[in-house]
Amino acid sequence: MIKLIKTAFKDESKFKSLENVYDLYDQLQYSENLNEMASSLYDWLEDKYKVTNINFYLFDMECNKNTTILKYGEEFTLNDEFVFYFIINTHTDINAIVSFKASSLAQYDVINDDYSFIEAAFFQISPILQNGIIKKHHIEASSIDSVTDVYNRKYLIERIHKIISLSSDEEEKNITFLMIGIDHFKAVIDEFDYDIGDKVLIELAKVIHGNIKDFDIVARLTGDEFLIALLDLPASSYAIEIAQRIIEKFAQTQVVIDEKKDLVLKKTICIGISSYPQDNKKIAEVLKNADSFLYEAKNKGRSQYAVYSKDELSSIDLF
């Protein structure tokens, strides 16, 4: 760093590059999470070096898995021409790789000429990024289901209560819950094993995510049950449409049991539906309603749904 400072005092353009290093540090140090850090980093690269192609992802060495944090511009790999990259080591199983690509030889030469200052900038911000990565990993470890990558029950309930407490509009407080259970899931474990059971759960999570909005919330409860919180629905009938769509899509989903033998498995689900605050002003009671009517749906057969009704509640056979 001292060498760069000496260079900057002899060259006005390099002094500007040195200022850029500290500009990036200032931008990132007040970021609240890793996504904000990644966005600020992209803004800095675009503003200072006209970079429009960037990948920012986490690499989990334990499970050999990439998680994209930010991606802009055209597709590229680390081995492509005009590509620069930096590895942020957290001294854990999870590291970050930030790569960006120049759009032309002229732009590449500009970046390459200033590379020592860009490298210094990354060195300066590494502790900030490290903290962001560790914080993200800690939060996810305590709130994300390890099998399906959806939230756990605790996180969903905390999030729902926060949404309700922060909402000033009564309509925004309307939340419909879908309680989902896989029909005869235990038979999958008995006939195959827990790994196949996990595959079924993963496929169901994919179907759920593919049929709800980005701001809706999904959690896995225990075993084969999932809970969806549908937010800001224009009408209760939409919840039924979504439930029917999820039921139909999952019934068509093939879970691969053995690729070599071309063996696949198909399963079905049932769904119980209850809404807050229409059905009850206590979230715990609404969830209990949704759970009870999941059993009502299962009593009807496979691929069924049941909507909470106070009149029908007393007649449900839960066992």
Tell me the domain boundaries of the chain: 2-143, 151-313
- Give residue 8's pLDDT: 55
**Residue 267: predicted pLDDT:** 95
How confident is the model at residue 11, as a pLDDT?
A: 61
Please, which residues have CB within 8 angstroms of residue 256's CB and are 6 or more apart in sequence? 199, 263, 264
Topology annotation, domain 2-143: Beta-Lactamase (3.30.450)
Q: What is the pLDDT of residue 319?
A: 45
CATH 3.60.21.10 fits 151-313, yes or no: no
Q: Check whether 155 has a pLDDT greater than 50.
A: yes
12-21, 168-177, 220-229, 244-253, range with the lowest pLDDT: 12-21
Decide which of 64 and 304 is more confident: 304
pLDDT-above-90 percentage for the chain: 49
For residue 194, how many other CB atoms are within 10 A of its CB? Answer: 10
- Beta strand 263-265 pairing with 255-258: antiparallel
pLDDT at 169 over 60: no
Please state, in angstroms and rounded to a whole number, the distance separating the CA atoms of residues 208 and 220.
11
Give the model's confidence band at 23: pLDDT under 50 very low, under 70 low, under 90 confident, else very high: confident
> Whole-number mean pLDDT of the chain?
86
Please tell me the pTM assigned to this model: 0.62
* pLDDT attached to residue 262: 82
What band does 4 get if pLDDT is binned at 50, 70 and 90? Answer: low
